[in-house]
Amino acid sequence: MALLIVYPAALSVFDTLTATSADGSTRFTLESYVTFFQLPDALPNLWFTLRITVVTVTILFALCFPIAYYLRFSTSQLSVPVRFLALFPMFVPGIVTAFALIRFLGDNGWIENILFSLTGWEGWVSPIAKPQGIVIGLVWEGVPVTVLVLTAGLSQVPNHLIESARDVGANGRQVFFRIIFPQIRRSVMIVLTLNFLGVFGAFTIPLLLGGASPQMYGHYMANRLYGIGQYTHAQTAAVIMFLISAAVGTLYVRSVVNQRMEKGE
């Protein structure tokens, strides 16, 4: 574990903070960061990555919370196919997702053809190779984990608690905000942080569904890594990524720890 994650990460931090002087000694310097941010695309790509991340995480939560809520409280037979569909993308490789979405949403895909056949509308603009394409792809991939974690969180809310609240006259909104929400706060936190980190560090979908510029950081770092003599840039980008996500990562770990302590670990 230490060998595979801590050592490489620490090495990158060390590499990017030092330089070798002419006499062979190592000294501390911020040069690689200065050079990195002087690259014309470093900052725009960073903003782009953060924007895509926030938008995707928000859409995922708004889309998946009702699904998880339904799965938790519905007794209908419909919940079986709903659960099945929501979990299906979990086992579909990113490359297949990308290929399928290009066929489905791209030029002459089903969406364009269906809209044309039904309404005669020819204005469909393919989202592929645009920021929208990345968001759609990442949402598609993120549904299973989001639904899974939220459903697990909701299932920890005991039925009798909700029923007794109803018995004393709480309305739906009160039940939700006073009873259910406090109990699932941690799962919500876990899912938001997990999705943030997942989207922030995504590679396959941005590579295949995004445009050439601006690029998300995963895509950008990979390009830098194979550019000749540029892998310090890739390392610098990775360290910047770690710094930005450190706060989110800490929140994630803390939520998990608290969650487990409550369960009596």
Residue 129 makes contact with other proteins by CB under 8 A = no
Q: Are 169 and 26 in contact (CB under 8 A)?
A: no
Residue 212 makes contact with other proteins by CB under 8 A = no
Provide φ and ψ at 20, rounded to 5°: -95, 125
Binding mask 181-200 for other proteins (x = CB under 8 A): ------x--x---x--xx-x
Site for other proteins in 66-105 (CB under 8 A): 66-67, 70, 73-76, 78-79, 81-105
Of 70 and 131, nearer to other proteins (C-beta) is 70
CA distance 180 to 72: 12
Site for other proteins in 132-161 (CB under 8 A): 140, 143, 145, 148-149, 152-153, 155
Report residue 109 CA to chain centroid gap: 26
Residue from 176, 145, 151 nearest 67 by CA: 151
Q: Are 183 and 175 in contact (CB under 8 A)?
A: no
Of 49 and 131, nearer to other proteins (C-beta) is 49
Residue 235 makes contact with other proteins by CB under 8 A = yes
Closest distance between other proteins and the C-beta of residue 218, in Å? Answer: 4
Residue 204 makes contact with other proteins by CB under 8 A = yes
- Cα maximum dimension of the chain: 80
Cis peptide bond prior to 214, omega within 30° of 0? yes
Of 40 and 264, nearer to other proteins (C-beta) is 264
